[in-house]
Structure 1
């Protein structure tokens, strides 16, 4: 007979282009549970043809798209959604509008995993520009005292996948400083497009290295599993209160037009059991 209904998880790239969607689709295919169906999506091009959101002004521009996409995913019946940017862009805003769907993002997810593996962690980031905002997120998650530091390699988001050997060398140099000079016991990669580099760094440095795109996806999947098995659904009380539906309908802008640009579906595996 066929197994239970698959978990449905969305990995949302908060950009208006699909340049990297296949990278994330391959990542989810390699790490998902058999009974999980994953949709890798990005925002519609009309939300802005961003290939990255390194700047706060870019984040502000795509926040509306993230909110709309989150609401649309919840209405499609997804169990969980991961917002694919290490700034955790619009995470709390999206949670407010997500109904019973669980929402997470790379920085928050990576910290949860890193601090379960070690007492002290460092974060390798692309550019010094990012540090102030990311450090605020680390501290807002209550992990500032366990942070060894931020280690920037002066690569922008679009640079990580251009020359893999150069990227790996720069990440390794930063990782050595974090581990050997500042005594980090785990490392977090601070950009979702650093996907795929963690294994070589772990081998060279001898500490766990958290890939944030994997972390965000797996935390979303795990939360979906717990919701299914334990009935743990998001709270909608007090600070988590959702806006009234009558106001949403009256104000407009939430539910009209296109919510997604591209979409790649990574299907659940069909598992059958033969009768004894």
Structure 2
């Protein structure tokens, strides 16, 4: 079957507990930005096992990594073309890629950096709290974008705070963006948290530089990867550092035998 008769299948995985309001925020983003021929499933981890509303701390990241790995393996088994892990820490990205089979896996930080690098020579990252900077800087430098990084600019908000008072969040993001441009020389901006969804266009219009929303970036990068997979046959390498663990060994270790639910929620946005 060709692409016209078989929709691209992309999963946007929010790696925290299912929450109806948050799920709908990301589903709304998907409805606005996906291509007509793409079917997207917005999923989250089951609340009874992963009760976090954020993973700002490495402790929480470590605890949800198992849930992410189970979700990635399930999505690959269901035949998804690509999956986006919806946290700007890019939690478990390399681990997930190892077991994704023919499914491409991306995440907000790597996707946002790739897009920003195609639009400008330098970019600043607007983050919620200073706590995040060390880990994010290490990640961005590891991706090879250290020379493009104009700096990090925090707004003093945790993940759970961004959607509480939109006017105040917008004010803080705007001020941080101006500082990144005026003091850091940033030619583009990246919002460094997926819960900043919905703010990018106002900042972009006011400041006159590209502003990358990481949730949109992750979705569109996954969708593009799915297109390239279908049209060009480009699938993940399984050689060298990308080698997957042997299936016989996975079975012997009972690594994925847990019968608990993989997903706590799933919103399906059909292809048109």
Common fold by TM > 0.5: yes
Q: Specify the alignment match of 1:110 in structure 2.
A: 112
Deviates more, 1:146-155 or 1:254-263: 254-263
Task: Give the count of matched residue pairs.
Answer: 268
Please give the residue correspondences for 1:1-276 in structure 2 after superposition, counting only pairs within 5 Å: 3-18=4-19, 19-257=21-259, 258-269=261-272
Runs of 4+ in 1 over 6 A off after TM superposition: none
Q: Write the distance in 1 (CA, Å) between the matches of 2:255 and 2:182.
A: 51
Q: Write the distance in 2 (CA, Å) between the matches of 1:180 and 1:211.
A: 20
Unaligned segments of structure 2, at least 5 residues: none
User: 1:25-80, CA deviations, whole angstroms, 9 ceiling, x for partnerless residues?
Assistant: 11011111101000000011232210000000000000000000000000000000
Query: What SS does the corresponding residue of 1:94 show, helix, strand or coil?
Result: helix
Query: What SS does the corresponding residue of 2:16 show, helix, strand or coil?
Result: coil
Unaligned segments of structure 1, at least 5 residues: 270-276
User: 1:137-193, CA deviations, whole angstroms, 9 ceiling, x for partnerless residues?
Assistant: 100000111111000001000000000000000000000000112110000000000
Query: What SS does the corresponding residue of 1:28 show, helix, strand or coil?
Result: helix
Q: Write the distance in 1 (CA, Å) between the matches of 2:108 and 2:4.
A: 30
Q: Write the distance in 2 (CA, Å) between the matches of 1:240 and 1:39.
A: 26
TM, length-normalised to structure 1? 0.96
Q: CA deviation at 1:255?
A: 4.2
Query: What SS does the corresponding residue of 1:45 show, helix, strand or coil?
Result: coil
TM, length-normalised to structure 2? 0.97
Query: What SS does the corresponding residue of 2:24 show, helix, strand or coil?
Result: helix
